[in-house]
Structure 1
């Protein structure tokens, strides 16, 4: 099982994620590429830290929404969105290469992540961007997303590698999708509940929904949000619990 977290989500003099601590725990780092958070210096530092620790570097691409942290719904034409996502991946690739590594996968962030579960055009824009990267740099990047999403289906149809993901710290609907952040209790804050959900995903391949039903979740990667208070300590607790349960943690890419 891969363990990923969002990193580099600061901007200038403001910091949000404890990147150093998280890099000592996770196997993959979703690095903010400057559109919802992050700046060039932060991107460079996170890439250097990840490369030094053998953590895979992922481009966490977003709508152009610094003010809303990428969590506001936006309508962006497919071609324009694809260009903006390509720009983000390419920028991170420079810093990753400078650190002796490279971008290893792509994961949408926030509102875009949720939108591409069902929106064919927005999902196609993400696929277009990853395909553009492949043409420019000569390698195809895996796309990380929710099982059953339009994004993963279109990526697979385009011949791109896909990786299914589940969340340790997000509530699920009976349909197997994430509860919108606009609704109460969309984010799990109780450490015991987060650990329990992580174990359920990794060991049993299921989650318990907000209605109490158990639904199957097939995931190769497990996510923890880096902007949650105490995220690094929580990630370490999740990792320890998974390893105690016999789960091998390693990057998928």
Structure 2
């Protein structure tokens, strides 16, 4: 049996009311962990409950995808939120999802920041500490899924939380190992073959190539597949098959 193990996570429940963005049913057949939107950037109670129910039925771990309070901007607009307020809002989002996770027979296993908050806590120790404090306030159980070596990684560890490093199959990297900002040409990889190649390289070998050509080492236990990109389900299927063909075992990290 292979000793290379990787988790596949995807952003799900990213609809609101009659507006639907992600094919949650199909993606839950392919991933091992589900980052569930908790209502601040997307998601509503009905969607959150359905995704939790289906995730448990299919043996998929449930994670809270927490964000700034920004429905209109899908959580991708930079915001300045006081640390104490942010910690409370993170705990609030986790708590809301925990209700539906427990009703389905599970718990919120981990927390992952979304969008602008994700990018902010890579470099901002104060905001990262607030996310870690909010996670701790919500309970002692959830791990934190984040960019390896980031301020978020350090803050979560200092808070005594389990920390899991993740990499992205469909995002370009800087030479420093951070994500290229979305507004930069080439930041989101649209070529399916390139996405598959990067996924296998990250999972099997722990490396990829920066947008500017430098080699980048990334130690990750989880690999993110975005559920809101065109053709997301087919791409997730291709990535999953390529990983298995390369001898990588797919298994949730918690």
Structure-2-length-normalised TM-score: 0.97
Q: Indicate whether 1:60 and 2:48 are aligned.
A: no
Confirm or deny: 8 A CA contact 2:92 2:138 kept in the other structure: no
Q: Quote the residue 1:202 is aligned against.
A: 203
CA distance in 1, matches of 2:89, 2:219: 30
Q: Quote the residue 2:136 is aligned against.
A: 131
How big is the shift at 1:11?
0.5
Matches within 5 A, 1:76-91: 76-91=81-96
CA distance in 1, matches of 2:89, 2:160: 22
| Aligned residues between the structures | 249
Instruction: Spell out structure 1 runs of 4+ moving beyond 4 A.
Output: none
Q: Indicate whether 1:231 and 2:251 are aligned.
A: no
Confirm or deny: 8 A CA contact 2:36 2:51 kept in the other structure: yes
CA distance in 1, matches of 2:136, 2:116: 22
Q: Indicate whether 1:25 and 2:30 are aligned.
A: yes
Q: Residues 147-191 of structure 1: CA distance to partner in whole angstroms, max 9, x if unpaired?
A: 110111111112110000000000000110000011111101110
Q: Indicate whether 1:71 and 2:76 are aligned.
A: yes
Confirm or deny: 8 A CA contact 2:133 2:159 kept in the other structure: no
CA distance in 2, matches of 1:215, 1:88: 33
**SS of residue matched to 2:122:** coil
**SS of residue matched to 2:89:** helix
Q: Quote the residue 2:181 is aligned against.
A: 180
Q: Indicate whether 1:171 and 2:176 are aligned.
A: no
How big is the shift at 1:102?
1.1
Q: Indicate whether 1:16 and 2:21 are aligned.
A: yes
How big is the shift at 1:192?
0.2
How big is the shift at 1:140?
2.4
Q: Residues 118-167 of structure 1: CA distance to partner in whole angstroms, max 9, x if unpaired?
A: 10111011011111012xxxx32110000110111111112110000000
CA distance in 1, matches of 2:193, 2:239: 9
Q: Quote the residue 2:119 is aligned against.
A: 114
CA distance in 2, matches of 1:96, 1:232: 24
Q: Which moved more, 1:34-43 or 1:180-189?
A: 180-189
Q: What is the CA RMSD across the aligned residues, in angstroms?
A: 0.6
How big is the shift at 1:239?
0.3
How big is the shift at 1:90?
0.1
CA distance in 2, matches of 1:27, 1:122: 28
Structure-1-length-normalised TM-score: 0.97
> Structure 2: where are the runs of 5+ without partners?
1-5
> Structure 1: where are the runs of 5+ without partners?
none
CA distance in 1, matches of 2:56, 2:87: 27
Q: Quote the residue 1:47 is aligned against.
A: 52
CA distance in 2, matches of 1:110, 1:101: 26
**SS of residue matched to 1:80:** helix
CA distance in 2, matches of 1:212, 1:224: 23
CA distance in 1, matches of 2:216, 2:94: 33
Q: Quote the residue 2:191 is aligned against.
A: 190
